[in-house]
Structure formats: structure tokens, C-alpha cells
């Protein structure tokens, strides 16, 4: 296997900056790919928290004027992983999050902020850094999707390009008047370029012009070719179907491993499952839930949005509470959902505990302490929390869509008999179907041996990055070969 060099371009990377699963994936892939003889270096925006946390080395590239101001690329290290931070104070030195200000309002210049990321990535992919000339540029999501577009319209030699869709609901659409400001040539504004319903589509352009498209599960790869899930891009994806691949995400086992996790109360594995109970007790205490080893404790760690379907959980709370169940939830997002859960906490003190906010520590403790873990998404490209739940012995209850469908084996009668089930799936994603699944989960929970079998099956499932990394490495090599040929 010859050594391959990959420049990854993304807007998040765990543990430097994270709003969701994208960061987990971008953070974990380099180490997993190293085992496949693929050297990955990752370009991310130099947000304040990135520059504060990264051990920054030398400046390897500078721009006099990158979309409105000077910018530099700093080479930094994160453990064994090389990270390039794009330092552009006029674009990234802000108080809010990566995409929105402290009030949650998107920055008005996001088009320029992420065009800059794509532009810098494209320059680096074309030899701007003599020390690292990549064979592949791998862009993640719309924020990086202009990188393959710039490469397409450049007449200099370029590497193969791969674009991964983590969530097709976010596309990066901007007025056509920005075309010149974004340094896109006039011919780019066409159906076979970035033009999308009369506007400029970052993701659309990237999907149109990259060499290979991947998404984060085989089922989602099929779903996005349909009008129900494709969010308008299904036609393009159908037309390019032969270059679309679904590769499941894995779990970063250096971060999510119940046998070594410093964030939980008591460490355990599938041989020492009994120890896990101490985490349930600790979780109940920390979240002010009633101390009760017998209560069916349901965990949720999630963004609060229509996608994730927690309105269906709210609808099911009265029935759950009537059965003396408990809920431990941490999430942030849409205000009406946050309000709904706050009200539920007031209505059921000691049995519903809601933390509105973001905490890695609590996310880990919920995985380690909850009996079941709920992911009732309306669509889910892959989903990572159900994989963490498998690792941690919190039995996942999930809707049968996207990556949830691909990663959980439903405890139907056949699977139970065969001894292979790992969780529960429900379909369609409605409150009624969820009600049935929750009642069934609780019945299985009361059947201690069956439940333990579900937990152990989950904990023994290989959710590592090893297989996915092999698939990415293979895909990179194919893309490079196709370009050379």
C-alpha cells in the first residue's frame, strides 16, 4: 500500500471545536486512517477556542487579502494529529459560536467565512505548502464544499476530491450577487455549477463538481436520492449515483470507552456490568432524580431540533411518568423544545431532569447511567449517540431511519430468539410508534436476563473506526487512480 496524503477541510474538529457529530468524525478520522497508511492533515477555521487550545507552530502560508482581510495558516499539533488553523481575524475572531453569534443568530457573512475556508483548502491542495502536497482533498459538509468547486475551476493540477455529506439539511445557500465576491467565475453560475434555484449553493456546487461523494451511512446514501430526504438535491444525487457511497461513522474509543472513561463514576466493561449500577446512582444524584435502582431510566443527549424528534418524547411523557419511569436529558437548541422540557421537569420533579446546555461530562455520565438511550429522529444521516449508547450498555431505542436503521438490531422476536438484538427500532417516526417501542423497552427491561443480553450484545458490537477507515482509504485510492487514469 503506497502512502496517501489527505487534506481534510472542515468547520469543526473535536476536541478543539464541536457543535455535533461532525466534530467527532473529523477529530477521529486522522488516527484511524493512519493505520491504513493514510496521512491526514486537517484545515479548520482559527476560531478563538481553536487558537487557545492548539499547540500552534509556525506560519506556513499567508494571504494578504482573504475575503476582506489578511490571513495566515498556522501549523499546529493535536496529540499526534496535524492541524492547520486558518487564522483570519476579520472572519473568525468573534465571541459567539462557529456559525452564529451569542444570541444564536447566524453571522451575516457566513458565505465569506466559509468560502475563505474552501479557498485556503484549495490553495493548499494545489501545492501552496511544499511540505505537504495532498493526493486527496476531503471536504466535509457545506462549510468546506467550495474547496472542490475552486479546484474544479482552476486550471492548475489538482488532487482528487471527496465531499462527505453529514447532513443534507444544511446546504449553505446565498444570493447570486455574491458570485464575484466569492471568487467564483461567471461560468460557475449554471446548473452544472453552483447555481441552485436561482441562488448559489455551496453544498450543491460541491456535490456537482467533486470526484466522489460520501455520506455517513448506507441507508442515508439511498434516502438522499429520494424527494422525502434529499431536500431538493435528490435529482443531482440520482444523476451522480455511481459516485455516491455510504460509509458508517465509528466511535472514537479513546474518548468513548466505559472501561477507561475518567468522566464517569465507575468504570466497567461487559464482564463487569454489575458495576454499571453505580453510574445510575451517580446520575440520579447529579441530576436530582429520585434515588431508585428499579426505575426505568431513559437518557437523551442531543441537539433540540425538529430533526431529532423530541417533540414525540414530550408527547409520551405522561404515559412514561404514569409507569414511574425517569428521564435524564441534556440538550440545547430550539426554544420551544427547551421550554417544553423545562415545563416537564417542573411537572415531574425527581423524575424528569433536564439540563439545557452543553456538557461532555454529563453526556458521558448519561450514557453510563441510563438504562435505555432514546434517539427518535425523523431523519438521521448516521447518528453517533446511539453508537456511544451501544458501547456503554444503555440500550438504544431509535427510529428506523438513516444510520439508526443500519447500526441497531431491533429486538423483534426473531432477533431475540437468535440472540443478536442490540436495541429497539420503531417506525414510522411518530409519537404513537414511539409509545409502543417505549412500552416494549420497559417490558424487556423488567426481564433482567433479556435486558442484560441486549446490553452485552451492544457492548460487544464493533463500532470502532477500523472498518470505516478501511472503506475511506479504499475510496481515496480509487479516486486517485481514477484521476490518474
Closest CA to 371 of 289, 485, 255, 262: 289
Region 206-225 residues binding ligand GLC, contact defined as CB under 6 A: 216
Part of the chain binding ligand GLC (CB under 6 A), chosen from 126-134, 143-151, 264-272, 376-384: 376-384
Region 371-410 residues binding ligand ADP, contact defined as CB under 6 A: 382-385
- Could you tell me whether strands 297-304 and 160-165 are parallel, antiparallel, or unpaired per DSSP bridges? unpaired
The minimum distance between CB 30 and ligand ADP, in angstroms, equals 17
Binder of residue 430, out of ligand ADP, ligand GLC, none (CB less than 5 to 8 A by kind)? none
Question: Nearest residue by C-beta to ligand ADP?
Answer: 21
Region 312-371 residues binding ligand GLC, contact defined as CB under 6 A: none
Figure out which of the listed residues 137, 144, 145, 363 binds ligand ADP, where binding follows CB under 6 A: 363
Q: Is 382 in the site for ligand GLC (CB under 6 A)?
A: yes
Site string (253-292) toward ligand GLC, x via CB under 6 A: ----------------------------------------
Cβ count near 157 (within 10 Å) = 11
Whether residue 402 contacts residue 378, with contact meaning beta carbons closer than 8 Å, is answered with no
Q: Nearer Cβ to ligand GLC, position 81 or 128?
A: 81
The minimum distance between CB 216 and ligand ADP, in angstroms, equals 8
Q: Is 252 in the site for ligand ADP (CB under 6 A)?
A: no
Q: How far apart are CA 177 and CA 2, in angstroms?
A: 45
The minimum distance between CB 170 and ligand GLC, in angstroms, equals 8
Q: Nearer Cβ to ligand GLC, position 299 or 381?
A: 381
The minimum distance between CB 255 and ligand GLC, in angstroms, equals 14
Whether residue 225 contacts residue 234, with contact meaning beta carbons closer than 8 Å, is answered with yes
Q: How far apart are CA 42 and CA 32, in angstroms?
A: 14
The minimum distance between CB 368 and ligand GLC, in angstroms, equals 20
Which DSSP category does 256 fall into? Answer: S
Q: Nearer Cβ to ligand ADP, position 171 or 208?
A: 171
Q: Is 50 in the site for ligand ADP (CB under 6 A)?
A: no
Helix residue ranges, H only, 190-233:
202-209, 218-223
* Total residues at interface with ligand GLC (CB under 6 A): 14
Part of the chain binding ligand GLC (CB under 6 A), chosen from 14-22, 107-115, 269-277, 438-446: 14-22
Provide the grid cell at 266. 465507575
Region 302-341 residues binding ligand ADP, contact defined as CB under 6 A: 302-303, 330-332
Whether residue 454 contacts residue 408, with contact meaning beta carbons closer than 8 Å, is answered with no
Map residue 58 onto helix, strand or coil. strand
Q: How far apart are CA 467 and CA 266, in angstroms?
A: 29
| Residues across the chain | 485
Figure out which of the listed residues 21, 45, 376, 396 binds ligand GLC, where binding follows CB under 6 A: 21
Provide the grid cell at 474. 479504499
Binder of residue 38, out of ligand ADP, ligand GLC, none (CB less than 5 to 8 A by kind)? none
Map residue 308 onto helix, strand or coil. helix
Q: How far apart are CA 72 and CA 265, in angstroms?
A: 43
Q: How far apart are CA 391 and CA 234, in angstroms?
A: 34
Site string (160-189) toward ligand GLC, x via CB under 6 A: ------xx----------------------
Figure out which of the listed residues 6, 8, 22, 312 binds ligand GLC, where binding follows CB under 6 A: 22
The helix (H) or strand (E) run that includes residue 140 is: strand 136-140
Closest CA to 278 of 267, 270, 269, 288: 267
Q: How far apart are CA 44 and CA 25, in angstroms?
A: 13
Provide the grid cell at 159. 488532487
C-alpha R_g of the chain: 23
- Could you tell me whether strands 81-87 and 71-78 are parallel, antiparallel, or unpaired per DSSP bridges? antiparallel
The minimum distance between CB 156 and ligand GLC, in angstroms, equals 31
Q: Is 163 in the site for ligand ADP (CB under 6 A)?
A: no
Q: Nearer Cβ to ligand ADP, position 75 or 382?
A: 382
Closest CA to 73 of 14, 6, 119, 134: 119
Q: Is 301 in the site for ligand ADP (CB under 6 A)?
A: yes
Part of the chain binding ligand GLC (CB under 6 A), chosen from 74-82, 129-137, 382-390, 444-452: 382-390
Whether residue 142 contacts residue 205, with contact meaning beta carbons closer than 8 Å, is answered with no
Q: Is 159 in the site for ligand ADP (CB under 6 A)?
A: no
Question: Nearest residue by C-beta to ligand GLC?
Answer: 21
For CA atoms 22, 24, 25, 27, give the dihedral sign.
Answer: positive
Binder of residue 354, out of ligand ADP, ligand GLC, none (CB less than 5 to 8 A by kind)? none
Q: Nearer Cβ to ligand GLC, position 166 or 212?
A: 166
Q: How far apart are CA 165 and CA 374, in angstroms?
A: 24
Which residues in this chain contact ligand GLC in the complex, by CB under 6 A? 20-22, 25, 166-167, 216, 249, 380-384, 403
Which residues in this chain contact ligand ADP in the complex, by CB under 6 A? 20-22, 24, 301-303, 330-332, 358-360, 363, 382-385
Amino acid at each position: 500500500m503506497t502512502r496517501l496524503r489527505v487534506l481534510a477541510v472542515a468547520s469543526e474538529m473535536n476536541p478543539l471545536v464541536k457543535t455535533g457529530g461532525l466534530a467527532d468524525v473529523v477529530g477521529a478520522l486522522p488516527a484511524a486512517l493512519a493505520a491504513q497508511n493514510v496521512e491526514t492533515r486537517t484545515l479548520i477555521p482559527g476560531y478563538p477556542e481553536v487558537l487557545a487550545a492548539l499547540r500552534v507552530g509556525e506560519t506556513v502560508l499567508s494571504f494578504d487579502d482573504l475575503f476582506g482581510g489578511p490571513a495566515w495558516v498556522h501549523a499546529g499539533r493535536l496529540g499526534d494529529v496535524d492541524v492547520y488553523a486558518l487564522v483570519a481575524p476579520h472572519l473568525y475572531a468573534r465571541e459567539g459560536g462557529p456559525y452564529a453569534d451569542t444570541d444564536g443568530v447566524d453571522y451575516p457573512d457566513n458565505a465569506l467565512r466559509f468560502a475563505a475556508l474552501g479557498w485556503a483548502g484549495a490553495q493548499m491542495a494545489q501545492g501552496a505548502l511544499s511540505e505537504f502536497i495532498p493526493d486527496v482533498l476531503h471536504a466535509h459538509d457545506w462549510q468546506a464544499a467550495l474547496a472542490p468547486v475552486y479546484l474544479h475551476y482552476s486550471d492548475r493540477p489538482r488532487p482528487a476530491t471527496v465531499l462527505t455529506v453529514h447532513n443534507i439539511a444544511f446546504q449553505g445557500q446565498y444570493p447570486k450577487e455574491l458570485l464575484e465576491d466569492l471568487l467564483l467565475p461567471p461560468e460557475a453560475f449554471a446548473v452544472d455549477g453552483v447555481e441552485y434555484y436561482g441562488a448559489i449553493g455551496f453544498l450543491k456546487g460541491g456535490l456537482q463538481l467533486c470526484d466522489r461523494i460520501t455520506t455517513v451511512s448506507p441507508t442515508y446514501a439511498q434516502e438522499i436520492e429520494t424527494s422525502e430526504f434529499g431536500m431538493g438535491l435528490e435529482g443531482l444525487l440520482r444523476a451522480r449515483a455511481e459516485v455516491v457511497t455510504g460509509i458508517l461513522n465509528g466511535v472514537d474509543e479513546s474518548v468513548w470507552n466505559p472501561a477507561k472513561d475518567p468522566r464517569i463514576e465507575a468504570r466497567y466493561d461487559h464482564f463487569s456490568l454489575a458495576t454499571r449500577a453505580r453510574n445510575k446512582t451517580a446520575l440520579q444524584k447529579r441530576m436530582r432524580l429520585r434515588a431508585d435502582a428499579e426505575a426505568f431510566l431513559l437518557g437523551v443527549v442531543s441537539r433540540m431540533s425538529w430533526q431529532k424528534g423530541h417533540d414525540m418524547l414530550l408527547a409520551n411523557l405522561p404515559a412514561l411518568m404514569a409507569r414511574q419511569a425517569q428521564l435524564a436529558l441534556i440538550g440545547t437548541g430550539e426554544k420551544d423544545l427547551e421550554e417544553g422540557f423545562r415545563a416537564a421537569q417542573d411537572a415531574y420533579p425527581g423524575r424528569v431532569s433536564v439540563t439545557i446546555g452543553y456538557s461532555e461530562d454529563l453526556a458521558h455520565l448519561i450514557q453510563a447511567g441510563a438504562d435505555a438511550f432514546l434517539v427518535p429522529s425523523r431523519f438521521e444521516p448516521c447518528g453517533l449517540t446511539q453508537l456511544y449508547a451501544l458501547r456503554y450498555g444503555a440500550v438504544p431505542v431509535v427510529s428506523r431511519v438513516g444510520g439508526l436503521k443500519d447500526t441497531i438490531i431491533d429486538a423483534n422476536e426473531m432477533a431475540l430468539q437468535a440472540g443478536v438484538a442490540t436495541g429497539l427500532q420503531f417506525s414510522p417516526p411518530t409519537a404513537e410508534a414511539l409509545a409502543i417501542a417505549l412500552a416494549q423497552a420497559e417490558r424487556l427491561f423488567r426481564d433482567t436476563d433479556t435486558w442484560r443480553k441486549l446490553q452485552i450484545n451492544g457492548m460487544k458490537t464493533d463500532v470502532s473506526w477500523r472498518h470505516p477507515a478501511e472503506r475511506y482509504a479504499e475510496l481515496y485510492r480509487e479516486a486517485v487512480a481514477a484521476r490518474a487514469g
